Structure 1
Amino acid sequence: MISGEPDAICALLDELGAQGIRATGLAVDYASHSAHVDGLRERLSEALDGLRPRPARTRFYSTVEPGPLDTRRLTSAYWYRNLRRPVEFHSAVRALLQDGFSRFIEVSPHPVLTYPVLETAEWAGSSVSVVGSLRRGEGDERRFLLSAAEAYCNGVPVAWKNVFSGRGARHPDIIPQEELHPSVTWQSARSVLHWERCPLVRGQQSRHEFSNQNWPLVRYLFRHCMLNYPTRVAECPCRTRHRSTGMG
């Protein structure tokens, strides 16, 4: 991340674009992670006065001080450094990868960090899955549950019983194990992910007019890929890539 005077940032974006380097400007009221933040130090200290951070139940990795951090150090002084200092995002992701983390969820109104995580993992030679939570123009429960389902397909545990409790939800009829090809099991089926990029799915879209709204994903994916193309499914890069992570 680079911050500074608006004119200088615009000139840099033009230069990077001319070189074929993907870069995006963010519209903000002030340039975070630069000297522009210095004038906010007193206001921020007053706003966070009385903050008493406690130990977290999960490990906390910081982009200020890469590596696991004791959350009792998340005082007002820390949050000022968080806003003022450069973002050590790459170092933080590398620390997570080195400690064995391979599933990432970006909690935000719209995903902007998924590609940086994937790029960092690629440079590190690690296989990971990255999903967002909401999307621009899709900030409702449906979008959140779709993201939860994508995370679940990537091996992230989701408490579905809590999600659907009291809603009259039921288990739908799906393809029984005995109808699947002998080489395919429901356990291995979890590995066939990212259907939008899957060549097996793309090849059938026009014939079946597949979309999120008018064709259930489970029925399409399993009946048309696993029943009709069991050998090709085994060779699908979507499955191969995720099977190497031990997720099926």
Structure 2
Amino acid sequence: MLVLDWESYQNTAWGNGNWIRAFTDRVHARTGVWPLVYVSAAFIHQIPADVRAKCGLWVAQYASNAMTGWQVRPWNYGRYGEAMRQYTSNGRINGYTGPLDLNYFRGTREQWNKYANPNSHATIPTPTPAPQSVTQPSPPATTGSGYRVVVRSGDTISGIAARTGLWPLNAWHVPSGNINRIWPGQTVTYHGTATTTNSGTGTRIHVVKHGETLSGIFGATGWQRVAQLNNISNPNLIRSGQQLRY
């Protein structure tokens, strides 16, 4: 789980919302993960609205400093729309000696996995689906907008793009508005133009557009393989019109 700990202590950027935005954008560019932002309830106003739209809040607010145990519904639970709530720094749990920070994650196990590792399959075992009598055909190598896919368990947008051959990732529209937040059963839609071709040898080709990056096209977990396949020594140097095998 990646988290920005936004506190005033030893923080020369305290009060600078642009710094928060630059940090979370950089984390996402490098890892594909939008980190949580840990912040006291009194300073939520320092977190820019666009950051809050992409990053879950981990809010600290204590009713008192009195010793407490596990609380199912802490004081002011959910008041700030937070993903996680820290409700004490003086908590006690059997088996541990001394005070503990106690927190409550306001979500499911699957949602936790999406926050922690959105571009990989969940590590929780899932039942093997029954064999299907009909196999959904792959879409044509070149296609227009509007191709729809129903999300399967363990899917990511990177995985769907690789399965369908439809790139770049930012051409996919998802119900949450964030391609790192998808759930099984949802329908995601490709609204890009035809950018993939077939070389005639079974190798698929993506033609680079202006402003695209390897990680932006192929995802945080797929660009390394594409770089190696195309003998790209510097992944930051690709050019418009370049043909990439994948």
TM-score of the pair, normalised by structure 1: 0.27
| Richer in helix (by share) | 1
* TM-score, L = length of structure 2: 0.27
